[in-house]
Chains A and B, each alone.
Chain A
Amino acid sequence: MSQDPTAPEVPLAITAPADRRRGRLKVFLGMAAGVGKTFRMLLEGRAEQEAGHDVVIGLLETHGRAETARAAEGLETLPRLRVTYRHTVLEEMDLRAILSRAPELCLIDELAHTNAPGSEHSKRYEDVEQILAAGIDVLSTLNVQHLESLNDHITELSGIRVRETIPDAILGRAEEVVLIDITPEALLERLRSGQVYPAERIDAALNNFFKIENLAALREVALRQVAEEVGAKRLTTELVGSREESLAAEAPHAVGERLLALVEPYPGAQRLVRRAWRSAQRLGADLDLLWVRPPGRALSEDEDRSLSALRQLSAVLGARMLEEESDDIAAAVVETASRRGTTYILIGRSRPARGLARLRVPLPQRLMELLPGVDVRIVADRSGRPNGERP
């Protein structure tokens, strides 16, 4: 591997001086290539430049799109670093040149890109981290399938695995995430008209990744991801507890439903879990399962098997199985629900109380009193219900 010898020597272990603020990261997120993330990034860069700020393009991938190239006109573009790897010359973003140039704002395309072997960092988002640490603001672009946590889910949806991933925390640290959204039909139209890929690649794209069902699923994931980012940021600011944040704390949580199903290791619990999962699917929510285990009580063989089956079911469904040890079910549920941000609790039908236990406040009622604002649903056992003879 060789690098441009004329590149300015800038120490790569730059740390921002104490009085220098960290740069701000803004990410344009899309469901797939061609939705207009780069175009939008360039438009914002131009607007910043026209507002008198010092803006440069650190790296731009036009993919031969004339519209994108035109949008970059008038913006200073830093030359790429030429890297030779196994007799092939590769072009990468020049991190040292950006740090040396030190603009106010740097535009860097394709945040999830993997750098050529031998580069200072193996991933572009690591370069971006260093640029931010140097106090430079960054605009960047990302497709939702590159997010690490969504990679498996999207592979199952689309049948195509994306190799380049970035940790979700990178997006979580961005000050702004902007969803660039168009309908799958509009994207396919753009693809067919040659606005996304050159003519020779259109058929392959249409036959593989760019199917209407793939795009619809990806769009849903992207929309949900941004909604969750917004929800997470609200939660973070509430924890920070500064002045504006107290306003946010008083506002209702508009997004990010999270369900909590209370389970016990017995066969009927699976029915509750399935129903909870279906509800979570419909609400686009995450699902947690909670078993409040009595301290010190050993499980019978049957219970042990039921617990294993519950764990297996939970894993296949993508739910999170939580186990808490406590004698007080209500207190354990309240603690877990508060910690997890639960908005909806599902419980099975209680067993009939005996003796003075009849005088106790039933668990659903206690939960409603202890968790105001959280829905509590009692899931019926439909096994006793007359079953129609439907084929």
Chain B
Amino acid sequence: MTIALVLIIAVVGVLAGIAAGYWLPPHGRRPAARSSDAQSVRRILLPFSGEAISRRSLEAAVRLARAENAIIMPAFLARVPMNLPLETALPVQCARGMPLLEAIEQRVSSQGIPVDSRVGRGRSARDALRKLLDQEHFDRIIVSADEDPRAGLGYDDLKWMLERVPAEILILRTAPEDTRRISANAVSGHF
């Protein structure tokens, strides 16, 4: 009798569990991997505004993220011309920036590092970065010192970051002969 009762209770429990799994809305079943504890996971920002980024910078970000159990946050900084409202859509710049963002995400996540992209916009790359930093906290920022001002953040911007940004800043100056860069061409598959 006791064994039968235990069996019945066990069966009812299992069925109740399965039924709960069925009836709960899909929203309730979020995998644990998606929710991260904001306090324990370090956030590494990798801002860019040009059409390519230094491969050395990306590799450094990946190494650091792996060592620190951090999440890499590539951020495309879009520049809104002065004659347009700040909230305007920027399809032309996005046509250049989105494939690169995709390429970075693919490269980072294929190495097992979590990635969470951002898009910032402002009147200049620095302004876009400032707005992004106002909205969110980042533990570390990795930027490459690039002599080509078209690539995005110039020396003045780096100086501004060092003076004003409350985060660790890693500035990488690659060797002149190291011209390897990640561009939209690195996107895997149809994009």
Q: Give the secondary structure class of A's interface.
A: helix
On whether the beta carbons of A356 and B188 are closer than 8 Å, the reply is: no
A359 to B18 CA separation, bound complex (whole angstroms): 11
State A327–B27 Cα separation when bound (angstroms). 8
Please indicate the chain B residues that have their CB under 8 angstroms from the CB of A155 in the complex: 81, 83-84
Known contacts A316-B89, A316-B90, A316-B119; decide if A357 and B22 are in contact (CB<8 Å). Answer: yes
Task: State A59–B136 Cα separation when bound (angstroms).
Answer: 56
Chain A residue at smallest Cβ distance from B135: A308
Q: Among the listed B36, B120, B181, which residue makes an inter-chain contact with A391, where contact means beta carbons less than 8 Å apart?
A: B181
CB distance from B116 to the nearest CB of A (A): 4
Q: How far is the CB of B122 from chain A (nearest CB, A)?
A: 11
**Contacts A274-B101, A391-B183 given: A313-B119 contact, CB under 8 Å?**
yes
Which chain A residue shows the least CB distance to B22? A356
- Taking a contact as CB atoms under 8 Å apart, the answer to whether A277 and B98 are in contact is yes
Q: Are B35 and A300 in contact (CB under 8 A)?
A: yes
Contact B91 A275 (CB under 8 A): no
Given the known inter-chain contacts A161-B83, A294-B27, A355-B21, please indicate yes or no for A385 contacting B117, CB distance below 8 A: no
- Which residue in chain A gives the minimum CB-CB distance to B43? A305
Q: Which of chain B's residues have a CB closer than 8 A to the CB of A312?
A: 118-121
> 1/0 per residue A296-308: CB within 8 Å of B?
0100111101101
CA distance A306 to B35 in the complex (A): 11
Cβ of A360 within 8 Å of any chain B Cβ, yes or no, is yes
How many B residues touch the partner, as a band?
35 or more
CB distance from A369 to the nearest CB of B (A): 18
CB closest residue in chain B, given A319: B89
Interface flag for B151 (CB, 8 Å): no
Least Cβ–Cβ distance between A362 and chain B, in angstroms: 11
Binds B, one of A100-108, A124-132, A222-230, A263-271: A263-271
A340 within 8 A of B: no
Please measure, in the bound complex, the distance between the C-alpha atom of A312 and the C-alpha atom of B36, giving whole angstroms. 21
User: B19 and A356: CB pair below 8 A?
Assistant: yes
Write out the residue numbers on chain A whose beta carbons fall within 8 Å of the beta carbon of B85: 152
Contact with A along B70-112 (1 / 0, CB 8 A): 0000000010010111011111101100110110011101100
User: With an 8 A cutoff between CB atoms, is A390 at the interface?
Assistant: yes
Kindly list chain A residues whose C-beta atoms are within 8 Å of the C-beta of B110. 383-387
Minimum CB–CB distance for B159 against chain A, Å: 27
Count residues of chain A with CB under 8 A from any CB of chain B.
Answer: 50
Q: How far is the CA of A155 from the CA of B90 in the complex (A)?
A: 10
Per-residue B-contact encoding for A113-154, CB less than 8 Å = 1, 0 else: 000000000000000000000000000000000000000110
Is B38 engaged at the interface, CB distance under 8 Å to the other chain? yes
Tell yes or no: A339 within 8 A of B by CB.
no
**Nearest-Cβ distance from residue A288 to partner chain B, whole angstroms:** 14
* A321 touches B (CB below 8 Å): no
Closest to B75 in A: A309
Which of B36, B89, B107, B120 is in CB contact (< 8 Å) with A318?
B89
Contacts of A5 in B (CB 8 A): none
> In this assembly, does A374 line the interface, its C-beta being within 8 Å of a C-beta of chain B?
no
- Give residues of chain B (6-24) contacting chain A, Cβ–Cβ below 8 Å: 17-22
CB distance from B166 to the nearest CB of A (A): 18
Q: Beta-carbon contacts of A305-329 to B below 8 Å, as 1s and 0s?
A: 1101100110111100000000101
Contacts of B149 in A (CB 8 A): none
Residue of A302, A317, A327 near B25 (CB, 8 A) is A327
The smallest C-beta distance from A58 to any residue of chain B, in angstroms, reads: 33
> Hey, which chain B residues are within 8 Å of A388, CB to CB?
188
- Closest residue of A by beta carbon distance from B17: A355
Q: Could you list 28 examples of A-B contacts with CB < 8 Å? A: A152-B88, A153-B89, A155-B81, A267-B116, A267-B117, A270-B116, A274-B98, A277-B98, A278-B98, A278-B99, A278-B191, A281-B95, A300-B35, A309-B116, A309-B119, A312-B119, A317-B91, A317-B94, A329-B25, A355-B19, A355-B20, A357-B22, A360-B22, A384-B110, A385-B106, A385-B110, A385-B189, A391-B186
Since A152-B84, A275-B102 are in contact, a sample of 11 more A-B pairs with Cβ atoms closer than 8 Å, ordered by chain A residue number, is: A270-B117, A302-B36, A306-B116, A309-B118, A309-B119, A312-B119, A316-B119, A360-B22, A384-B110, A391-B182, A391-B183
